[in-house]
Amino acid sequence: MVSFLRVGALLGGLLVVAGCSTVAPPSAQAPAPVAQASGPAAPSQAEPSQPGGAAAAKAVPAPAAAPARPDPLASLPAPTGRPPQAEVPVGNLWDRIRAGFAMPPLNSRLVAEKERFYLERPDYLQRMFARGSRYLFHIVEELEKRGMPTELALLPFVESAMNPVALSHAQAAGLWQFIPSTGRAYNLQQDWWVDNRRDVVKSTEAALDYLQKIYAMHGNDWFLALASYNWGEGAVARAVRRNQARGLPTDYLSLPMPAETRNYVPKLMALKNILLRANELGVALPDLPNRPYFVTIEKTRPIDLKLAAQFAGMTVDEFVALNPAHNRPVIAASRNNEIKLPADRIDAFMAAVERHGQANRAFATWQPHTLKPGETLETLAQRGGIAVAELRDANDLRAGQRILPGTRILAPQRAVEDETRVERFDGPRVYELVERPAAYHTVKRHESLATIARRYGTTVANLKAWNGLAKTAAPGTRLIVRPASAQTLLTTEDGDRRVVRSETNEPRIMHAVLRREPAEPERQAAPARTKRQHAAKQARRAGAATQKASAARAKPVAKKAPAAERGDAVRTGSGKRAPQRTNKRT
């Protein structure tokens, strides 16, 4: 274990080294795309699931060893299926993995078929082994701590071809292929910033927790546990109960199951056999020292992902291979404060951080930015020195979206006053213009306006108004069944999407039929006239009033009509009131 005493000088506590051993990592190719892979099924019940100052890592002396006491449980088998083993010196990690094999053979012709499958694809095997060289030491360490068989270290080869960014059609992600619900049940954070299903350390811990659970659930049978990992613990339990009810065996090979699960365990056992007989089969295993490949660094301030890769002397792809959980081009300390680096790069990384800080340069240039009127994604990307595609990808914006002013996204800034602003950013807030063209329908024989209206979710009154119809439409007539419209949509930080403004060329009758807002508010919402237009309107009104007054003065005053002609009540000679005449309207 190596302690780095220079950490305290690194810019107010940017980094704290958690502990590592310096080694030279083996060469490995960058991850390649992988075919769809299965992952752990959702469990039947979900289990319960800051910036600071500098802190120098100090070496802590180990406490004196207590006198050894006899362990009454030492003679019992390990609770997770791996028998206690004597300390065997190993030359490399492959030897260590072989020494930990503890699962019984699987007597199935499928194992031999899968061996042939892998051996006929040596390039595929080499790519998987090369990617695995980054992660296998950590996985083996965790398995041995729990007393679990090291065959399980080969499971990510089956699940994801050891590709930490693999994503299946069922949205299972990472080395261990957790689906979203199972990942949340095992405390794997998934949000706009990070997806810890892809985090090598956190996902390995969750996967081993889950494997231990289903191993105990199925009577300490690793083959049934692995079937549950692929098919689902409930599905395997039901298959076991059905066989029990029929008086049939309940082992892995005796259960009816989907073809994918039937081939799942044989793949794992085939890889085990290949490792056991690598020399005999002519499989060249890459050099894999029995030492850590990566170290974990804790940080207390945000840093651009590209900058972190640059400090470590790595390409972005190499950096992402060790840090695939980060979704954004800036790593926010409050969301995920860990960075993983090759063990032999730590000194160079820390020296680069120190130089950068002494030059008073920003560590996190990607900051929240609200688009102003006249700004576009193109101008923003050009100002930040990046491609528009990179800016869209950083904010999950689709190509072709018409982004409007008021949108708040992450964008690179030349001058950064407060780098911690990015810590308070929960995700983009996007205004976009969505235009929908008009839709048409050609009237067929025996079609009526009523049937057409029902088909397109509108009314007969609308169809008549949109198309200037008095009664009906003859066959062959092309009707507008949905007018063109334009809407402003708001997508919030939480992913909620709603219409905040809608403009359409629908006639007023549709607003009345659908009980939409009356036309008056729409007129009020129209753009204000310019001062010149307003002045001209006022002048026209004043001129009209003057003309009306002049006409009134020139018109002769009419004589008042007799009361009888005006329809007023008049008295007759008898003194009775005559009936009042009324003008009836026809």
Angle at CA of residue 19, ends 212 and 53, nearest 5°: 115
Strand, coil or helix: what is 456? coil
Q: Could you tell me the sign of the dihedral formed by the alpha carbons of 431, 432, 433, 435, in that order?
A: negative
Residue 175 to residues 225, 267, 389, Cα–Cα distance (Å): 18, 16, 27
Please report where in the chains the tokens 């994604």 appear, as a residue: 377
Rounded CA gap, 330 and 315, in Å? 15
- H/E element, 77: none
Strand, coil or helix: what is 118? helix
CB 325 within 8 A of CB 196: yes
The dihedrals phi and psi of 46, each to the nearest 5 degrees, come to -75, 135
Q: Give me the half-sphere count of Cα atoms (radius 13 Å) on the Cβ side of residue 566.
A: 8
Rounded CA gap, 14 and 52, in Å? 8
Strand partners, 432: 403, 489
CB 290 within 8 A of CB 93: yes
Of 148, 161, 147, 199, the C-alpha closest to 178 is: 199
Strand partners, 16: 298
Q: Which amino acid is at 368?
A: P
Structure tokens that stand for 466 in this block = 């949109």
- The DSSP letter of residue 178 is B
The dihedrals phi and psi of 17, each to the nearest 5 degrees, come to -80, 125
Buried (b) or exposed (e) across 295-305, using 16+ Cβ within 10 A?
bbbbbbbbbbb
CB 299 within 8 A of CB 16: yes
CB 186 within 8 A of CB 49: yes
Q: Tell me if residue 159 is catalytic.
A: yes
Which residues, 6 or more positions from 45, have their beta carbon under 8 angstroms from its beta carbon? none
Strand, coil or helix: what is 335? coil
Q: Could you tell me the sign of the dihedral formed by the alpha carbons of 338, 38, 134, 316, in that order?
A: negative
Please report where in the chains the tokens 């299903």 appear, as a residue: 197
Per the residue annotation, which of 151, 159, 338, 432 is the catalytic one?
159
Which residues, 6 or more positions from 70, have their beta carbon under 8 angstroms from its beta carbon? none
Structure tokens that stand for 126 in this block = 């080499």
Angle at CA of residue 302, ends 133 and 392, nearest 5°: 80
Q: Is 534 exposed, middle or buried (0-12, 13-18, 19+ CB in 10 A)?
A: exposed
- Catalytic positions are 159
